[in-house]
Amino acid sequence: MKPLDIVYWMRLGLGIIAGALCASFNVFIEGSPPLGLEAVLKGLAIALLIYAFSYYIIERAFSLKVKRPRKLLTTGIGIYFIAWFVTWAFLYTLFAPP
pLDDT tens track of the chain, all 98 residues?
Answer: 999 999 999 999 999 999 999 998 887 777 666 777 888 888 999 999 999 999 999 999 998 889 998 899 999 999 999 999 999 999 988 988 77
Contact 81, 14 (CB under 8 A): no
Contact 11, 79 (CB under 8 A): yes
| CB neighbour list of residue 10: distance below 8 Å, 6 or more residues apart | 54, 58, 76
pTM to 2 decimal places = 0.88
Q: Cα dist. 55→27, 69, 70 in Å?
A: 28, 11, 10
Residue type, 60: R
CA–CA separation, 34 and 12 (whole Å): 27
Domain boundaries, the chain: 3-95
Q: What's the pLDDT at 59? A: 93
